[in-house]
Amino acid sequence: MALIERKGQLELGDGGDRAEPIGVFTRPMAETGWRSWVTTVDHKKIAIMYGVSAIFFFVVGGIEALLIRLQLAQPNGKVVSAQLYNELFTMHGTTMIFLFVIPIGAAFMNYFIPLQVGARDVAFPRLNAFSFWAFIFGAIFLNLGWFLGGAADGGWFMYAPNSGTLFSPSHGIDFWTLGLIITGIASTAGAVNLIVTVLNMRAPGMKIMRMPVFTWMSLVVQFLLVFALPVITVALFLLMFQRNFGATFFNPDAGADPLLWQHLFWLFGHPEVYILILPAFGIVSEVLPVFSKKPLFGYPFVVFSGAAIGFMGWGVWAHHMFASGLGPISVAVFSITTMFIAVPTGVKIINWIATMWGGRLRLTTSMLFAIGLIGMFTIGGLSGVTHAVSPADLQQTDTYYVVAHFHYVLFGGAIFGFFAGFYYWWPKVFGRMLSERLGKWNFWLMLIGMNLTFGPMHIVGLQGQPRRTYRYAPGMGFDMWNKVESVGAFIIALGVLVFLINAIQSRKHKAYELDPWDARTLEWMTTSPPQPHNFDAIPTVHTLDEFFHRKYDEDPATGAMIKVKEADQVLEEMGRDEHIHMPSPSYWPIAVAFGLPILAFGVIYSHILIVVGALMVLGSLYGWAMEPATEPDSGGHGGDVAPSTELVSHG
């Protein structure tokens, strides 16, 4: 939380000769072993932790999906009860959105934003660590319902009055509510951190319009997070007060309006879907140029359309509420704004296709996923356009047609984008390539699987199969397609399994050469994996696609770009900075984070724990504030908050 940093960086003693830290604990200095991970403030390690957690929850959410599909594979299914089915679809959606897509985005953004802008770390490294620990504690807390009386069962959108204690008496929704408040705090802190990083920690010459598109899209995402999360935080607190302290904010019997929840939820929820997709759009914008051997077509348009999506995303939220009784004027207004928001995405699709047009395409796995995104997202976008037409939406809403739409954009869009990112950046992060052979299997299984699973949902949805219903009667015309969908789901699972095998097996591959893809952007101007301080010398940036232009020059005779330098030569010529200051590891971020679930337990079970949790948070915050960001004797500046970017330019 920003209020930690507001206490200021305190010099202990007179500028550098401090001997003993205030307090009981000495500063951790471990560089290997589990302690180095628990106390790390290195954005790369934090990113890997986010990534591993996200993939774990991807599998959890996937298992929840497979159970749903087993139940729906036949009419009048008896695989799970109605109650368990409600918990499964609630947790599947919640897990996939909040515990997979968001953190895998955070993983990519945390790893690559500092590298892409030419920084050594983020603006507030300890805050970054706090964000991860708060996220993982919140994620675990959210899932405790499974073990403590039943998981949340009101749908991931948790509409009132189903969300109240009358219809959902177990603690599942309380774990959900409080868990999301905690993960929301984590993401808010992360958003502030990354925005300040992008604004304030760029290498010399890295102007805003020279930044890679992935960083740009990530910047838009962070703004969306920082402004949208407070709205759902309000909703979650109101629900928590209702369920645990007797308030009646969403209870119609008490004169409340359940639409208040819907508005507050979707005011967050719609920017949220752009939060989910924009990082993937950013990754695709990196991958396509590299594997088309052409610069991105229309960089300013791609950037501005991303910003436009972020801005316009605030004006469409009630299109999730067309059937809620808003009234014709509101419905008409939101219908029109929703139609407009298709435009900037269309701009991106055109620019991506134009990037590939006339390029020398290399169909690596990463490229296949990127092209797959363009195709699959377009399909999902088209069904989205049909939703915008509110009279049509009245038939589509609450049916499997909607499920088809958002799975095409989320699976075919966000997930395909992230997988493109895995195959592209794996060698940079781990120093080894993923197998291209297994990668192709991964891709085709996922592509075929997702189309088998979600394609028929358009049909059965329009024919009337409702969402969130644990069984359907035979003879409605749904039987065959549901079987196909369930088979498709297992094909997806097979694809994911292939990926996991690929990931684990990659450790056996030989360490790769420095620049396997002949890439274009700054993060490739480092060793693989990068050293803790990222760059030996912070580069001075002269152009967009700086790395590309250091390797390639224009042939005066033909005008074509020819390679004049290899990657290792570029790295060698960068030299080495004399003073490299890195922030030191710290216990306090995980300590502060740990107080939060304790506090949350207190709300559910015993109010005294609220005080205990709050005191843990407060005490740890003091420890954090008293500790300098960098230990003087480790060679750092005692008072710096962020690792300093020593600006001796080395060309």
Partner 1 sequence: MADVALHTPAGEHTTTGLSNTKLAVWLFLGSECLLFGGLISTFMLYRGRVIGSGPEPAKGWPTAGKLYNIPFTSASSFVLLMSSLTMVLAVASMQRGDRPKARLWILTTALLGCCFLAGQAFEFTHFYRDGAGYTTSLFTSSFYTLTGFHGVHVAVGVVMLVSLYVLSGRQQWGSEKAESVEIIGLYWHFVDIVWIVIFTLVYLIPS
Partner 2 sequence: MDADTAEAIEPASYTDAPGGHGETGHSDMVYVKVFVLLVVLTAFEVALSYSHIGRAFIPILAVVMVLKFGIVVSYFMHLRYERTSAFGRLFMTGLFLAIVVYIAMLTTFRVWSS
Q: Which residues bind partner 2 (CB under 8 A)?
A: 199-200, 207-208, 223, 226-227, 231, 257, 259-260, 263-264, 267, 314, 317-318, 326-327, 330
Provide the minimum distance between the beta carbon of 316 and partner 2 in the complex, in angstroms, as a whole number.
11
Tokens of 460: 């059965």
Q: Cα dihedral angle (491, 492, 494, 497), rounded to 10 degrees?
A: 180
Q: What is the dihedral of CA 379, 382, 386, 389, to 10 degrees?
A: 160
Interface region with partner 1, contact rule CB under 8 A, candidates 97-105, 230-238, 393-401, 413-421: 230-238
The binder of 157, among partner 2, partner 1, none, by C-beta within 5 to 8 A per type, is none
Q: Which two tokens stand for residue 463?
A: 């024919």
Which one-letter amino acid corresponds to residue 171? H
* Residue with token string 């007179």: 14
Question: Which letter, b or e, does each residue of 93-112 get, where b requires 16 or more Cβ atoms within 10 Å of its Cβ?
Answer: bbbbbbbbbbbbbbbbbbbb
Rounded distance, CA 587 to CA 41, Å? 10
* φ and ψ of 562, to 5 deg: -120, 150
Nearer to partner 1, 107 or 127 (CB): 127
CA distances from 63 to 152, 205, 282, 412, 496 (A): 16, 47, 28, 19, 11
Nearer to partner 2, 252 or 358 (CB): 252
In whole angstroms, the minimum distance from the beta carbon of 320 to partner 2 comes to 13
Size of the site for partner 1 (CB under 8 A): 65
CB 284 within 8 A of CB 417: yes
What residues pair up with 534 in beta bridges, in sequence order?
531
Q: How far is the CB of 304 from partner 2 (least distance, A)?
A: 12
CB count within 10 Å of CB 169 equals 12
Contact positions with partner 1 (CB under 8 A) in 136-195: 188, 192-193, 195
Looking at the Cβ atoms of 117 and 404, the one nearer to partner 1 is: 117
Please choose which of partner 2, partner 1, none residue 522 contacts, taking the beta carbon within 5 to 8 angstroms, the exact cut-off set by kind.
Answer: none
70 contacts partner 1 (rule: CB under 8 A): no
Minimum distance, C-beta of residue 595 to partner 1, in the bound complex (Å): 15
Nearest 5 degrees, angle CA 505-CA 506-CA 508? 75
For residues 193 and 122, the answer to whether their CB atoms sit within 8 Å is yes
Question: Of the candidates 110, 276, 127, 244, which has an alpha carbon nearest to the alpha carbon of residue 188?
Answer: 127
Distance between CA 61 and CA 69 in Å, rounded?
A: 12
Compute the least distance from the CB of residue 183 to partner 2, in Å: 21
Query: Across the strands, what pairs with 562?
Result: 553
State whether the Cα torsion 295-300-305-311 is positive or negative: positive
Closest distance to partner 1 from the beta carbon of 442 (Å): 38
Q: DSSP letter at 210?
A: G
Coil vs helix vs strand at 534: strand
The interface partner of residue 644, options being partner 2, partner 1, none and the CB cut-off 5 to 8 Å by kind, is: partner 1
Please tell me the distance from the alpha carbon of residue 335 to that of residue 348, in angstroms, as a whole number. 22
Q: Which does 14 bind (CB under 5 to 8 A by kind): partner 1, partner 2, none?
A: partner 1
Instruction: Quickly list DSSP for 476-510.
Output: SS-HHHHHHHHHHHHHHHHHHHHHHHHHHHGGGSP
For the CB of residue 226, give the shortest distance to partner 2 in the complex, in Å. 8
> Pick from 17, 23, 30, 207: which binds partner 1 (CB under 8 A)?
207
Contact of residue 8 among partner 2, partner 1, none (CB under 5-8 Å per partner type): partner 1
- How many Å apart are CA 53 and CA 138, to the nearest integer? 12
Residue placing its CB nearer to partner 1 in the complex, 229 or 403: 229
Among the listed residues 37, 157, 237, 512, the single contact to partner 1 using CB under 8 A: 237
The answer to whether residue 244 forms part of the interface with partner 1 (CB under 8 A) is no
Give the span between the Cα atoms of 538 and 380, in whole angstroms: 42
Tell me whether residue 467 or residue 637 sits nearer to partner 2 (CB atom): 637
Collapsing DSSP to helix, strand or coil, 640 comes out as coil
* Contact with partner 1 (CB under 8 A) among 112, 124, 499, 624: 124
In terms of CB distance, is 13 or 466 closer to partner 1? Answer: 13
What x-and-dash track marks residues 253-282 binding partner 1 by CB under 8 A?
xxxxx--x---x------------------
Shortest Cβ 235–partner 1 spacing (Å): 7
Q: How far is the CB of 330 from partner 2 (least distance, A)?
A: 5
Task: For partner 2, give the closer residue by CB, 263 or 432.
Answer: 263
Residue 61 or 269: which CB sits closer to partner 2? 269
d(CA 169, CA 174): 10
- The binder of 216, among partner 1, partner 2, none, by C-beta within 5 to 8 A per type, is none
Q: Of partner 2, partner 1, none, which one sits near residue 647, judging by CB under 5 to 8 A according to partner kind?
A: partner 1
Cα(450)–Cα(484) distance, integer angstroms: 11
Residues facing residue 432 across a β-bridge: 511
Report in angstroms how near the CB of residue 267 gets to partner 2 at its nearest: 6
Query: Quick one: 199 or 382, whose CB is closer to partner 2?
Result: 199
The one of partner 1, partner 2, none whose footprint includes residue 540, by CB under 5 to 8 A per kind, is: partner 1
User: In terms of CB distance, is 162 or 540 closer to partner 1?
Assistant: 540
Element (H, E) at 559: none
Query: How near is the Cβ of 642 to partner 1 at its closest, in Å?
Result: 6
Does residue number 2 form part of the binding site for partner 1 (CB under 8 A)?
Answer: yes
Residue 572 binds partner 1, judged by CB under 8 A: no
> Residue 399's beta-bridge partner residues?
466
Q: Does 201 bind partner 1 (CB under 8 A)?
A: yes
Contact with partner 1 (CB under 8 A) among 8, 327, 328, 475: 8
Q: Which two tokens stand for residue 336?
A: 């029109």
Which CB, 96 or 231, lies closer to partner 2?
A: 231
Separation of alpha carbons 125 and 582, rounded Å: 10
Question: 3-state DSSP call for residue 432?
Answer: strand
Q: Mask: binding to partner 1, 528-557, rule CB under 8 A, as x and -?
A: ------------x-----------------
Return the residue matching tokens 């490229």: 367
Binding positions for partner 1, rule: CB under 8 A? 2-3, 5-14, 123-124, 188, 192-193, 195-196, 199-202, 204-208, 226-231, 233-235, 237-238, 241, 245-249, 251, 253-257, 260, 264, 540, 618, 622, 625, 639-642, 644-647
